[in-house]
Amino acid sequence: MTFMAYGSFFMLGAAFTLQRLGHVRTDLLYERWTPRRQATIDLVCYLLFFMPFVYVLVVTGSGYFWKAFVTGETFVSSSWQPITWPFKLTVPVTGVLLFIQGVAELLRCVHAIRTGRWPEREHGSAVQA
């Protein structure tokens, strides 16, 4: 039960962590750049790396979920043998949540490129980490 709950918690928290700038970032050069340059680099990285990853996560995760749902797949590593589809559903749901947050990040990048400063975040931080 622990690996199922923790795995779901970990996956579903990814978009929230992105919104709070909680993911690891190498700041060696980034922190010295202007907000416009930061936003330009972020925009390119979101479009080239992040969005394709999210697409693969949704498509592949949906396939794994659907197969588990249709076949009634269970975890054989436990004598309880719980069904797997609720846990496999967290993969495409995580992808959708990451997509939504990714669009918000793209819009923040566009704002920073146009204005030269990062917009306020809901939790009060105007500084891009």
pLDDT of residue 124: 54
Q: How far apart are CA 4 and CA 90, in angstroms?
A: 10
CA distances from 119 to 11, 26, 31, 104 (A): 27, 21, 16, 11
Two structure tokens written together for 14: 């990814």
pTM (2 d.p.): 0.86
**Selection from 105, 125, 99, 100 nearest residue 39 by Cα:** 105
Residue 20, CB-side half-sphere exposure with 13 Å CA sphere: 7
The sign of the dihedral angle between the CA atoms of 16, 87, 58, 46 is positive
pLDDT of residue 86: 93
Phi first, then psi, for residue 78 (nearest 5°) are -135, 145
Give per-residue pLDDT as tens, 22-57.
887 777 888 899 999 999 999 999 999 999 999 999
| E strand intervals along the chain | none
Give per-residue pLDDT as tens, 86-122.
999 999 999 999 999 999 999 999 999 999 999 988 7
pLDDT of residue 51: 98
